Structure 1
Amino acid sequence: MSETTVDKAYRMLTSDDDGRVCRDIPESACNDQPRNFITHIVSLGATKTADGLIDPKLVLSWLLTQLGAPAVYIGLLVPVRESGALLPQLLTAASLRRLAKRKWAWSIGSAVQGLSAASIALAAIFLEGAAAGIAIVTALGILALARSVCSVTYKDVLGKTVSKARRGTATGTASSLAALFVIIFGVVLATGTLARMPVVLAGLLIAAGLWLLAAVLFSTLQEEAGATEGGENPLSAAMENFGLLARDAQLRRFIAARGLLISTALAPPFMVALGSDGEAENAFGGLGLLVIASAGASLLSSYVWGRLADRSSRKVLIFSAIAATIALAATLTLDAVGLLTAVWGLPAVIFALMLAYQGVRLGRSTHLVDMATQDTRAAYTALSNTIIGLLLAAGGAFSLLAEFAGVSAVIGVLAGMSALSVIASLGLEEVQAKDD
């Protein structure tokens, strides 16, 4: 892609006549911003597509079931994937700060994710039963650890290479492009025109290739060397990072709002369980249901959420929390009147929740990057992600609540959490309006 084409694409996506506007990135990085912007979109779009192709909640759960793996391994998939990607970050952030250019850590992490996805595919081809379960969960754990490295470094690299008021657009565009490809994957699964096992295995191998491609592309970013202070002992760095909570009220409020909004990540399996007694379970071919709903919501909303986040990430979090509350309340209402099991009932509320979920993801990411400085961004990211990882790990308690009080009670609690997040988000500052 020529430089002229890159500049045109940059201006088209940002609605900006001047591709060199820089607010809080080094002046020397201004000329490279259009190229970096497009590189972020392509790299992140590739990894988000790969994420959708191996979705542990759906694709890997189905795969282990088909391979005859014991239920214990199926139950480990989501906790291993979510917590494994977040919990290590508080300990690894300080070590990663020793790297003046953190794009290399992200690239290595992406490459390891690609090799892990390939390992999952090979395990599915050659193993079955408990052996397949052990191998796939182990590979997923390695993938999650590599993802944690990417997560803690990505926002820092984004903050150095793309200016404020452009970051949400970059991540939102990447999400929309990825969603388009995942929708195609979901439609193939849903229609059953091809045997599902070969399609799933092909998806795993394509995901592996996309992660490897992203690793190469991301390494071409023109990243300025950053601060390397703070690379002390991981345990002492972790304690110091927790000290940020005592000193920064806005950080506390942001983590509270984000923590309450884990409701959008935890709710889908319970919604499916509540509406699985009727025709809705098979309306989209079972496996393709959440794939299509999630990817469709991302395709339609991610770019819009990203553009809005560049203007006010605070409002994105507020609107997303309101939307999640409405979607979960609607789920309970449809169930009460017997419409959740209608052919349109469950897909409609899942789609609505996924719209909110995409807003949460883009709003929280943009807000964190813009509220932090270049020196605090990595620490803020690691602290926030570690706390959310702990909360997600504790989210297993909702399964116990469902056992004793019913699935409807769980969805009611999650709706209440979303509503409380509206209140927490109202107190956030308009960080995009701050002068740098």
Structure 2
Amino acid sequence: MQTAFETLTSDDDGRVCKDISDKACKEQPANFLRHAAALGLSKAADGLADPKLVLAWLMTHLGAPAGLVGLLVPVREAGALLPQLFTAARIRAMGQRKWAWVGAAVGQGIGAAIILLAALTLSGVTGGLVILAGLALVALSRSVASVAYKDVLGKTIAKTRRGTVTGLAGSGAAAVTLGFAAVLMVFSDARVVIVLVALGLAALAWAAAAGIFAGLSEERGATDGGANGWRAAIENLRYLREDPQLARFILARGLLTSTALAPPYLVVMASGAGGAALEGLGALVAASALAGLVSSYFWGRLADISARKVLILTGLTGAVALALALGFNAAGLAQTIWALPLALFALALSHQGVRLGRSTYLVDMAPQDRRAIYTAISNTVIGVVLLASGIFGALAALAGPQATLTLFALMAITGAWVAYGLTELAEA
């Protein structure tokens, strides 16, 4: 394990630690591999049950109304973020927060199983509603996992290794998703069976991740300040006033959500009213997975050097990707076989960097005793922003997807500018 750890982190001395205890330092090689395996399995399950592509295609196949299909992304994203402000204090009351992540992984597995059962036995409105219910359980479980994971990561992995372990997990998961896409493209006539099998594998992957993470060596942490409820949530919001860097980080992250919200509008722009773009499910999944595969480890290593620069670069990259998509549309190329996957690939490169950069910057920025709280504040505020995605949908309906994508491009550029004003933690 020590050799594997040193190879993956490009270190001559794997026991050089920053920001963690001596005991955690000794356990770091084994913990590093457990983090990579458990998080990789969880991310792979996310790819196999991707709401933006896979579940949208499945609900359309089952005859669910378009209105229900449109709820997939808001339920998934906002459901994973909004509850966090109210669960952070409860998680803080746990001496070992890894158990919160383990329970959350089990919950996500159950949610995936509900979605699979609905796909096997239901259709139409009922099938759509049950799939949304299963996705809501996945999202709520993920909200717990997100808060707990960053705190456990900060306690068990040294400061200069955190981006690397999350990037490694992302690359492995992207490879699995890319294989899934290849199977979809090769056996396109069996798409329904392949998607159903993928949902079953996602449920099993989350169960396996829970088992692996349960074996993590985590020291008991401070549990004071663990009261839960609305009062604790409101009190936590004071950190937005007390820590200007936290407020600026959340503003940058909010603007960079454009990289997550834009893909459905690329599909709308390419397919028009016929919705034909969903017929190329394999190509869309492949473009997204390939972007994660080729960029996750790179973004992770760069985040360990400067997470701030990652946020700047990914904001600019996202704006360029959206400008490219708009240029394809203006040239009449949006409905060609290569334009949509290429635009999605470029946008997914950017979004992957945003996810790794924001996670690494937040863990490095937050004081040890506030990591879970800062994570919850950030994610809850962003959850509100994502709920407002319905406004963007109305804008697309009124002004067309081109106007919405132009707005997203401007948000990405502004997000890069706001990130430029963040403190450079690599020099701290």
What does 1:24-43 align with in structure 2 at a 5 Å threshold? 24-43=19-38
Structure 2: runs of 5+ lacking an equivalent: none
Task: Give yes or no for the alignment of 1:399 onto 2:393.
Answer: yes
Hey, what does 2:154 align to over in structure 1?
A: 159
Shift of 1:163: 0.4
Q: Secondary structure of the equivalent of 2:262?
A: helix
**Pairing of 1:211-222 with structure 2 (within 5 A):** 211-222=206-217
User: What residue in structure 1 maps to residue 249 of structure 2?
Assistant: 254
Q: 1:25 to 1:15 in 2, by over 3 A?
A: same
CA contact (8 A) 1:103 1:221 kept: yes
Distance 1:343 1:16 in 2: 44
1:346, distance to aligned residue in structure 2 (A): 1.6
Q: Is the 8 A contact 2:87 2:228 kept in 1?
A: no
Equivalents in 1 of 2:227, 2:273: separation in Å? 56
User: 1:108 deviation in Å?
Assistant: 0.5
For residue 343 of structure 1, report the CA deviation from its aligned partner.
2.5
Are 1:81 and 1:144, in contact at CA under 8 Å, matched by a contact in 2? Answer: yes
**Whole-angstrom CA distance in 1 between matches of 2:206 and 2:333:** 41
Please name the residue that 1:363 is paired with: 357
Separation in 1 of the partners of 2:347 and 2:60? 26
Match of 1:209 in 2: 204
Does the Cα contact within 8 Å between 2:119 and 2:127 map onto a contact in 1?
Answer: yes
Report the residue type matching 2:16 in the other structure: V
- The one-letter code of the counterpart of 2:415 is S
Which among 338, 348, 354 is matched to residue 354 of structure 1?
A: 348
Aligned to 2:76: 81
> What letter is aligned with 2:101?
W
Contact 1:280–1:341, Cα closer than 8 Å, also in 2: no
User: Which digits, 9 at most, give the CA deviation of each residue in 1:9-60, with x for residues without a partner?
Assistant: 1111110011111110111111100100110000000000000001111111
Matched, 1:291 2:285: yes
Contact 1:188 1:194 in 2 (8 A): no
After superposition, residues 37-436 of structure 1 pair within 5 angstroms as 37-193=32-188, 195-276=190-271, 286-434=280-428
Deviates more, 1:284-293 or 1:94-103: 284-293
Q: Secondary structure at the match of 1:96?
A: helix
CA deviation profile, 1:183-206 (whole Å, cap 9, x unmatched): 111121123355111111100000
Distance 1:396 1:278, change over 3 A: closer
Q: In structure 2, what is the Cα distance between the partners aligned to 1:337 and 1:286?
A: 21
Tell whether the 8 Å contact from 2:268 to 2:275 is kept in structure 1 after alignment. no
Matched residue SS, 1:23: coil
What is the number of equivalent residue pairs in this alignment? 428
> What SS does structure 1 have at the residue aligned with 2:237?
helix
Q: Provide the alpha-carbon RMSD of the alignment.
A: 1.6
Q: 1:111 Cα shift?
A: 0.6
Closer, same or farther in 2 for the Cα pair 1:72/1:404, shift >3 Å?
closer
Residues 154-163 or 16-25, more deviating? 16-25
The whole-number CA distance in structure 2 between the counterparts of 1:66 and 1:343 is 22
- The CA distance in 2 between the partners of 1:278 and 1:270, in whole Å, is 12
State TM-score, norm by structure 1: 0.95
**Letter of the aligned partner of 1:321 in structure 2?**
G
CA contact (8 A) 2:311 2:358 kept: yes
CA distance in 1, matches of 2:230, 2:427: 35
Whole-Å separation in 1 of the counterparts to 2:66 and 2:279:
22
Larger mean CA deviation between 152-161 and 116-125 belongs to: 116-125
The CA distance in 1 between the partners of 2:273 and 2:92, in whole Å, is 52
Q: Which moved more, 1:173-182 or 1:230-239?
A: 230-239
Sequence identity (%): 54
**Which letter does structure 2 place at the counterpart of 1:204?**
L
Identify the range of structure 1 (341-350 vs 294-303) with the bigger mean alpha-carbon deviation: 341-350
Please give the secondary structure, in 1, of the residue aligned with 2:37. helix
Q: How big is each residue's C-alpha offset from its partner over 1:215-274, in whole Å with a ceiling of 9 and x where there is no partner?
A: 010011100111112212421111111100001110011001000000000001101111
Deviation at 1:375, TM superposition (A): 0.2
What CA distance in whole angstroms lies between the structure 2 residues aligned with 1:361 and 1:227?
28
Determine helix, strand or coil for the equivalent of 2:271.
coil
1:3 aligned residue:
none
| 335-344 vs 6-15, greater mean Cα deviation | 335-344
User: Structure 2 CA distance, aligned partners of 1:99 and 1:352?
Assistant: 41
Deviation at 1:278, TM superposition (A): 12
Show structure 1 runs of 5+ residues with no match: 1-5
**Structure 1 residue ranges, 4+ long, deviating more than 6 angstroms after superposition:** none
Give the drift of 1:73. Answer: 2.1
Amino acid of the structure 1 residue aligned with 2:108: Q
